[in-house]
Amino acid sequence: MATTTTKTETLVGKRIRRREDPRLITGTATYVDDIQLPGMNHACIVRSPHAAARIKGIDAKAALELPGVVAVFTGADTKDVGPVPCGASLPGLRVPHHYILAIDRVYFVGHPVAVVVASDRYIARDAADLIEVDYEPLPAVADPEKALAPGAPAVHPEWPDNIAFTYQQKGGDTDEAFKNAEVIVKERIVSQRLIPAAMEGRGVVADWKSGDKALTIWTSTQIPHLVRTLVALMLGVPEHHLRIIAPEVGGGFGSKLNVYAEEALMGFIAMRLAKPVKWIESRRENFTCTIHGRGHVDYLELAAKRDGTILGMKMKLIQDLGSYHQLLTPAIPTLSVLMMPGLYKFQNIHAEIVGVFTNCVPTDAYRGAGRPEATHVIERMVDILAAELKMDPAELRLLNFVDNESFPFATATGLTYDSGDYAAPLKKALDIVEYHHLREQQKEARAAGRLFGIGMSTYGEICAMGPSPATPAGGWESATVKIEPTGTVTVMTGVSPHGQGEETTFAQIAADELGVPIDDIVVQHGDTAIVQYGIGTFGSRATAVGGTALYFALQDLKKKIKLFGAMLLQSEDVTFADGVCTCNKSGKTVTLQQIAGASYRAMTLPTNTEPGMVATRFWEPPNFTFPFGAHIAVTEVDRETGDIEIKRYVAVDDCGNIINPLIVAGQIHGGVAQGLGQALFERAVYDDDGQLVSGEFMDYAVPRAHMMPWIETEHTITPSPVNPLGVKGVGEAGTIGASPAIVNSVVDALSPLGVRHIDMPMIPETIWNLIRKGAHA
Amino acid sequence: MITHNFDYKRPATLQEALGLLSDGSSKVLAGGMSLIPLMKLRLAAPECLVDIGRIADLNYIREENGAIHLGATVTHYQLENSPLLRSKCPLLSETAAHIGDPMVRNRGTLGGSVAHADPASDYPASLLALEADVVIAGASGDRTVTFADFIVETFTTVLEPGEIVREIVVPVEHSSAGYCYEKVVQPASGFAIVGIALRIRKEAGRIAEAHIGVTGLASKAFRAVAAEQALMNGSADPAAAKNAGALIADGVDANSDLYASPEYRNHLARIHGARAIAIALSRAQ
Amino acid sequence: MKIAGTHSLPVPQQRAYEVLQDPVILARCMPGCDRLEKVGEDSYEMKMKMLIASISGLFDGKVRIADKTPFTSFRLIVEGTGKIGFLKGDGLLTLTPNEGGTEVRFDGDVHVGGTIASVGQRLMDTTSKMMIKRFFDKLASEVSS
Amino acid sequence: MDSENSRERICGIFNPGMKHSIHLKINGQRYSHDVEPRLLLIHYLREIAELKGPHIGCETSICGACTVLVDGQAVKSCAMFAVQADGCEVTTIEGLATNGTLHPVQEAFWNEHGAQCGYCTPGMIIAAKQLLDRNPHPNEDEIRHGLEGNLCRCTGYQHIVNAVKAAAEKMGA
């Protein structure tokens, strides 16, 4: 039964502890590897140790003889399974056929070549070692610029230039802008390859019920419905016979916004053997075979007047795509182009993307997906311009921001910024750090020979993906709200949270709208057999798009509640608030519980009204949202060692209205950690032969607790007009704001030595080399 | 993640362990903090593990005849927190506290770490500075070698098949001595890019004794002899620290990895060497 | 990975040149070499058991000698493939006389793949140097005995 | 669930001669099984004792997601064979609450939003518990270093630090 007390306290905007946590803190949540099915087999995948090689033969005899081994499959067995799909389309895009197991050639270290199925995972692992693959190694290329050089090894022999696509975008007139420029600054800026490294790797369990011809796949994904549609096509299983379940998902950061070979492969094995099968990715597989992020080399030119007015920008973006297109691989750099102007009003841009094949694992969406790269570039260029003009970087930014009166603001890249007050977070951040005082402190520090830096970034991001025409798979989101006969509420959302806390925030929204206690609401997600079609969780969209779909479903229900309330109260004039329908004349009331009961009992029905109390809405957003903010990092560099100390980190973010400040803070902290990781520690390193030499946590430094500074968070609030909740999204903000703030700070610290740019990660040796060079300059 | 198959023996006594090791195909398992991850990556595949973790008389920290005797299976956590070591050989406690993380320190052992001889492990710097001895138990009895002689090369010691590190012996430090373990941490693995261990004794404002051990820098840990000599009999001031620090990497063919080139490693050794000397001097009375 | 170094052999240059290409001696001196079989002119196959403390791996290897300029230089190409990865060393050995005998300079490239490449980065440099040093130390003791 | 069957299989019926008998107490309950020596403690806990709380996050014993207490000491259960835990008392995240009452560290992780995706959380909570057992009043730096063996990719650690501080206050009160 529903709790009978009604609730009057508004929950939206409150610091409410999460409803998903009890299972997480007691170890009772169910991730993919926690699923056990009777008779389940275990799969272990044999992967290429070469970045490029011809497969001359595969001998599985010894493996098959090992007791407990059930089957071995190779590319010959799976060649008819549809290719791993690329959802992005660009004019002239070259799309290599991406078999789920290699046929006769491998293209990157980790390329799946064969799969062993055994009765337990220990045997499967032993058997994998017994499979002999005869490789003929071929020359490989791992660096996108080297791949473009004449004579470079061809990743795909059919395209010897290694170019997957080129793409141009122009806005305004850059020729004119550069002609009128009084100052032009240029720089080459690298956004290095990163490894998303969600703490839970990927994992798939597949179960085939031959009697029903029904396949169920549990997979650690951010997009269960899209996986369903695409894996159904790959396997030739009718979509209605395929059920995808995203159980508890241990982080994604974009790496699980994808459809992977293993999802179809496990489905194939389960069907072939008519037994359930489980595959759990090892960390080394996660590093070599799950998508990487970033991987840009950008050549930039910024034109301005001496007074600091920015006139235009040119960018040549070389995108390291890796060997294949995963779901969105080629689309990611186009997002960088869209966000090229940042928060600034200049109207002339020219961008050229060259998408390059390399013998590496594909890149794709990683937290921010194209936007951290764009923000990093524009925010670095603005600082380089400020240095050139000897202007204060804050003043230069304030001068060039889009004016508050100009919203909605049309950018040179074709976007419409929804709302903003771009100066507000910067001013707030400057106040928090006492900027003028800080600059005085810096002068003193410099006089004493210390390397003291103040760096800022003012970022904008394109979020709440997004209007459907602008997305590869539809940009809407869905929600169903069911008020059960006893008055409790079930929300089913098409988004697929995996740490973002929508079981809590969506319950807050529903509780407020329906006026019921939050404990009477449950939020379900991630199971295609339960939840109506949805798009998923990525691109800071869950609350802004999925929450809005929920909001509209709730409005529909409220109308229906009032209809039933009016009927029960025998009044035309009723109000529904705080879970109670009140007759405005008599003051008589009926509770939501009574109304729900009446709607299902259906003894009488309001005119033209169906029984039951369920509403579903698919909401198509009219625009993206554009969160923004300002981050300031205060750093000091050890002149002798190059070590960087972050003395202060301030993040002022404007993500529109805030549903739950606790969760918003958590998103910012986590985002900053990933941006800081990129700025200071992380890089996926392939050697010249295409070996991933940062192949585990031993050599890839994910920030640990003691490597993080205290993050001071603050907000300004500019509601988005795009959705009725006024929310903009916050999942990626921290990541986008952090890397340029930190790099700008360290460049500022080293600027007395003539340093004007530093590529990431700024490991101490890099800094030390700059100090040495500076000292000799 | 899954190791090869192997056989497992858990002797109750050292004698039993030595008996089990005598055929040469077995490998000693102590805390397993180095060995088990290697086995999980299938880089190590011993046929049999002889687990010495439960041998009661290998786990002790005791003072005897002016020296401190440390049983092979004493954990890093025990060393870090031993009141005896903290007062009488604080350099070793300080070093233990720098190893890995709390979980690794709970399981990892002194003997295991020393026998593994990872060139970037922490203890070698301190054990060299302390002029420690290693007592090795074998079928034909015990033998004692200096720690300097114990380490041969990267991952290589004088341990013969069938032998076990039984104990490490370190001197009781004079309470007036200064000490320091300074470590530059590889941010991903937690291993030492450079680790410098210092022991210094002052007499009448001059340095009467200086021992410097360096790990992480080269293919094996070494004594920084030139730096020691530069300190000896000199005055105990910051300039001395800087001058001696500058000598620490002299003639060293340094290692390299993703985080530090040989040149930078040598530089870090000099800078952190000077810093370690300064700290040790400030602690010396 | 580039690797270079200098080692001394206590024999005259011509003798050094010969021993460095003598399969019997190479087999004895190459760390972990179990068996070396001639499969062609200056071309050999071998079984290697690499053993560095706890780390062990079996490799099927090939050794090739090329670009011979008698008594002053030649290229030595060593390849090995095993379950834990593969390695390929390709180096130019240059011989010059010195007071005690012959100085052998080694300039080459080491390519490593598989598990050892993806998790052994930290130790690659150290261990490669160590293996080469072991080779020359053993060789020096072989030729002087 | 045919747990007997899966237990049999993972215990290594194919190498019956090599099995070792182990007896241990997990969260106060006694367990006895014959296991292959190579069975990792984490797999024993997850597959045989069916305690899915501790997780596996890496292969090199870096990440700490598998952290449990063995005889009161936090260890990475992926860096220990089950045979090594023979005769020991093991506490996993499932054993931390008593009679349905959350341990103060669990409660604090909830109140302070110390978990996002939750995957590192069981190991992180065990590590935090040990930290507070050993040092009831840690400062921020001590908390951060006390958790350096546990990777979290979601939180940036700040709410975890807050949770440990809050738990310390509550436990000290």
CA distances from A580 to A10, A265, A575, A610 (A): 15, 52, 8, 21
Q: Which residues sit opposite C6 in a β-bridge?
A: C105
Residues D129 and D146: beta-carbon distance below 8 Å: no
Decide if pLDDT at B120 tops 60. Answer: yes
Tens of pLDDT, residue by residue over D76-98, are 999 999 999 999 999 999 999 99
Question: Mean of the pLDDT values across residues D62-73?
Answer: 97
Give the gap in angstroms from C-alpha B156 to the nearest C-alpha of chain C: 6
B195-209 core/surface letters (b: 16 or more CB in 10 A; e: else) = bbbbbbbbeeeebeb
Cβ–Cβ below 8 Å for A695 and C83: no
Identify which of A282, A701, A765 has the shortest CB distance to residue B188. A701
Q: Which of A281, A454, A466, A285 is nearest to A371 (CA)?
A: A466
ipTM of the complex: 0.96
Structure-token pair, residue C1? 């990975």
Q: Are the beta carbons of B240 and B273 closer than 8 angstroms?
A: no
Confidence of residue D5 (pLDDT cuts 50, 70, 90): very low
Q: Inform me whether the pLDDT recorded for A2 exceeds 80.
A: no
Angle at B213 between CA B210 and CA B214, to 5 degrees: 140
Answer whether A126 sits within 8 Å of B258, measured CB to CB.
no
C117 and A687: CB-CB below 8 Å?
yes
Summarize the confidence of residues B149-155 as an average pLDDT.
Answer: 93
Taking only the tens place, the pLDDT of each residue in A274-329 is: 999 999 999 999 999 999 999 999 999 999 999 999 999 999 999 999 999 999 99
Q: What is residue A776's predicted lDDT score, i.e. its pLDDT?
A: 63
Closest-CA residue of A relative to C121 is A693
Query: Strand A112-118 relative to strand A214-219: parallel, antiparallel, unpaired?
Result: unpaired
| Subunit contact A39:D5, Cβ cutoff 8 A | yes
pLDDT confidence band for C32 (50 / 70 / 90): confident
Q: How confident is the model at residue D4 (pLDDT cuts 50, 70, 90)?
A: very low
Q: At what angle do helices A661-680 and D158-172 cross, to 10 degrees?
A: 120
Could you give the CA distance from residue B72 to residue B80 in angstroms, rounded to a whole number? 15
**Spatial CB neighbours of A506, under 8 Å, sequence gap ≥ 6:** A491, A493, A523, A543, A546, A547, A550
Nearest of A660, A408, A659, A674 to residue A548 by alpha carbon: A659
How far from chain centre, in Å, is Cα B112? 10
Contact by Cβ (8 Å): A682, A701 = yes
- Model pTM score: 0.96
Report the pLDDT averaged over residues D51-66: 96
Contact A671, A731 (CB under 8 A): yes
Q: What mean pLDDT value characterizes chain B?
A: 95
The answer, for A685 touching chain B at a CB cutoff of 8 Å, is yes
Tell me the nearest-neighbour CA distance from C51 into chain B, angstroms.
Answer: 9
Position C143 scores a pLDDT of 84
For residues A139-148, give the mean pLDDT. Answer: 98
At residue B285 the predicted structure's pLDDT band, cuts being 50, 70 and 90, is confident
Q: Which of A464, A491, A515 is nearest to A622 (CA)?
A: A464
Residue A608 Rama label (left phi>0; alpha psi -120 to 50; beta) = left
pLDDT at residue D17 greater than cutoff 60: no
Residues with Cβ within 8 Å of B76's Cβ and at least 6 positions away in sequence, in order, are B96, B97, B99, B100, B104, B105, B106, B108, B109, B110, B113
Chain D residues near residue A28 by CB distance under 8 angstroms: 52-53, 94
> C55: helix, coil or strand?
strand
Q: What are phi and psi of A325, to 5 degrees?
A: -95, 120
Q: pLDDT by residue (tens digit) across D102-161?
A: 999 999 999 999 999 999 999 999 999 999 999 999 999 999 999 999 999 999 999 999
For residues A649 and A711, give the distance between their C-alpha atoms in angstroms, rounded to a whole number. Answer: 5
Stated as kind and residue range, the H or E segment containing D125 is helix D121-134
- Quick check: B150 pLDDT over 60? yes
B38 to chain C, minimum CA–CA distance in Å? 7
Helices A764-776 and B262-283: crossing angle, nearest 10°? 90
Amino acid residing at A495: V
> Is the pLDDT reported for residue A3 higher than 60?
no
Q: What is the pLDDT of residues A4-33, one digit of tens each?
A: 445 568 999 999 999 999 999 999 999 999
pLDDT tier at A1 (50, 70, 90 boundaries)?
very low
Q: Are B40 and B81 in contact (CB under 8 A)?
A: no
The answer to whether residue D121 neighbours chain A at the CB level (below 8 Å) is: yes
For position A767, what pLDDT does the model report?
98
Q: What is the pLDDT of residue A216?
A: 98
Q: Report residue A125's pLDDT band, with 50, 70 and 90 as the boundaries.
A: very high
Q: Do D153 and A671 touch (CB under 8 A)?
A: no
Tell me the pLDDT tens digit for each residue of A185-204: 999 999 999 999 999 999 99
The distance from CA C100 to its chain's CA centroid, rounded to whole angstroms, is 22
- Which residues in chain A are closer than 8 Å to D50, comparing Cβ atoms? 36
What's the maximum distance between 2 C-alpha atoms anywhere in chain B? 61
Q: How far is A31 from chain D (nearest CA, A)?
A: 8
Render pLDDT for A629-661 as a digit per residue (tens, 0 to 9): 999 999 999 999 999 999 999 999 999 999 999
Nearest alpha carbon to residue D68 among D36, D102, D44, D39: D44
Question: Treating both helix axes as pointing N-terminal to C-terminal, what angle do D104-111 and D121-134 enclose, rounded to 10 degrees?
Answer: 120
Is residue D13 very low, low, confident or very high in pLDDT (cuts 50, 70, 90)? Answer: very low
**C1: pLDDT confidence band, cut at 50, 70 and 90?**
confident
Residue A573 has pLDDT above 60, yes or no: yes
What residues of chain C lie within 8 A of the CB of A286, using their CB? none
- Tens digits of per-residue pLDDT, B38-83? 999 999 999 999 999 999 999 999 999 999 999 999 999 999 999 9
**Cα separation of A354 and A477, whole Å?**
32
Tell me the pLDDT band of D11, cut-offs 50, 70 and 90: very low
> What confidence tier does B238 reach under pLDDT thresholds 50, 70, 90?
confident
DSSP state of A31: B
Task: Check pLDDT > 60 for residue D8.
Answer: no
Q: Which residue of B has its CA nearest to D66?
A: B103
How far is the C-alpha of A282 from the C-alpha of B41, rounded, in Å?
11
User: Rounded to 10 degrees, what is the CA torsion of A366, A370, A375, A378?
Assistant: 150
- Answer whether residue A164 shows pLDDT above 60: yes
Q: How would you classify the pairing of strands C2-9 and C101-113?
A: antiparallel
Q: Is the pLDDT of residue D12 over 50?
A: no
Task: Collect all residues with Cβ–Cβ distance below 8 Å to D139 and sequence separation of at least 6.
Answer: none
Q: How confident is the model at residue A233 (pLDDT cuts 50, 70, 90)?
A: very high
Q: Calculate the average pLDDT of chain A.
A: 96
Mutate which: D47, D80, D157, vs B, most B CBs within 10 A: D80
Which chains reach chain C with 3 or more Cβ–Cβ distances below 8 angstroms? Answer: A, B
Q: What is B171-186 written as a DSSP string?
A: EPPPTT-EEEEEEEEP
Q: What is the pLDDT of residue A7?
A: 59
**A544: helix, strand or coil:** helix
Whole-number Cα distances in Å, A509 to A620, A768, B75, D12? 19, 51, 53, 51
Q: Do D75 and B107 touch (CB under 8 A)?
A: yes
Q: How far apart are CA A331 and CA A93, in angstroms?
A: 11
Chain D residue nearest residue A21, CA to CA: D110
Please report the pLDDT score of residue A303 as a whole number.
Answer: 98
Q: Find the residue in A nearest to C111 (Cα).
A: A689
What six digits make up the tokens of A492? 């089913």
What pLDDT is stored for residue A744 in this prediction? Answer: 98
